[in-house]
Amino acid sequence: MTSKNIKIGIVGGSIAGCSAAILLLEQGYDVTVFERSNKPLVGRGGGIGTTTSLLEKIKNDGLIGNDFVQFHTSEMPFIGKTQSHEPYGRTAWSIPLDFKVFQWNELWKHLRKNVPSNRYKAGIKIVKANLNNDSKVELTTENNKREVFDLVLFADGYNSLGRQIIFPDKKLEYRGYILWRGLLPENKISNSCPLENKILRLSYQDKPGHNVVYYIPNSDGTSDKGNRVFNWAAYIAIPEDELNNLLTDKNGNIRQGTLPPGYMSSSTEKKLKHYLTQNIPDYYSEIVEKTVDSYIQVIYTLDLDNYHKDNICLIGDAGIVVQPFTGSGVFKGYNNAKDLIDCLKSKNTIEKALKLWNEKQLKTGKNLLALGEQMEKAFIWEQLDFAKVDEETTKKWWKDSVSFPENFNYSKNK
Given the rule CB under 6 A, which residues bind ligand FAD? Answer: 11-17, 34-37, 41, 44-46, 48, 104, 125-126, 155-157, 161, 316-317, 329, 333
C-beta of 13 vs 217, nearer to ligand FAD: 13
- Report which DSSP code applies to 318: G
- Of 45 and 176, CB closest to ligand FAD: 45
- For ligand FAD, the closer of residues 179 and 387 by Cβ is 179
Residue 77's nearest CA partner among 324, 381, 386, 287 is 386
| Cα-to-chain-centroid distance, residue 209 | 18
Cα 251 from Cα 314, distance rounded (Å): 34
**Nearest C-alpha neighbor of 211 from the set 330, 294, 301:** 294
* Closer residue to ligand FAD (CB): 295 or 386: 295
Q: How far is CA 216 from the centre of its chain?
A: 16
Distance of closest approach, residue 280 Cβ to ligand FAD, in angstroms: 20
Least Cβ distance, residue 127 to ligand FAD (angstroms): 7
Amino acid at 352: K
| Choice between 31 and 384, CB closer to ligand FAD | 31
- Distance in angstroms (rounded) separating the CA atoms of residues 301 and 325: 12
What is the C-alpha separation between 234 and 241, in angstroms, rounded? Answer: 20
Residue with Cβ nearer ligand FAD (92 or 318): 318
Instruction: Show contacts of 126-131: CB within 8 Å, 24+ apart.
Output: 126/11, 126/34, 126/36, 126/156, 126/161, 127/161, 128/165, 129/11, 129/154, 129/161, 129/162, 129/165, 129/312, 131/309, 131/310, 131/311, 131/312
First to last CA, the chain: 49
Residue nearest to ligand FAD (CB): 316
Which of residues 126 and 272 has its CB atom nearest to ligand FAD in the complex? Answer: 126
Nearest approach in angstroms of CB 349 to ligand FAD is 27
Between 41 and 92, name the residue whose CB sits nearer to ligand FAD: 41
Q: Which is nearer to ligand FAD, 161 or 341 (CB)?
A: 161
For residue 206, the minimal CB distance to ligand FAD (Å) is: 27
- Cα 281 to Cα 283: distance, rounded to the nearest angstrom: 6
Gap between the Cα atoms of 175 and 180, Å rounded: 14
Q: How far is the CB of 205 from ligand FAD (least distance, A)?
A: 26
Shortest Å, Cβ 168 to ligand FAD: 16
User: How does 346-368 read in b/e, with b if 16+ C-beta sit within 10 Å?
Assistant: ebeebeebbebbbebbbebbbbb
> From the CB of 46, what's the least distance to ligand FAD, in Å?
4
Amino acid at 259: L
CB 202 within 8 A of CB 211: yes
Q: State how beta strands 126-131 and 312-314 pair.
A: unpaired
Minimum distance from residue 221 beta carbon to ligand FAD (Å)? 16
Going from the C-alpha of 141 to that of each of 40, 146, 217, the distances in angstroms are: 19, 7, 37
Closest distance between ligand FAD and the C-beta of residue 332, in Å? 6
Give the whole-angstrom CA distance, residue 51 versus residue 58. Answer: 11
Closest to ligand FAD by CB, 17 vs 365, is: 17
Determine which helix (DSSP H) or strand (DSSP E) holds 16, and give its type and residue range.
helix 15-26
Say if CB 296 and CB 259 are below 8 A apart. yes
**Residue 28: CB minimum distance to ligand FAD, A:** 23
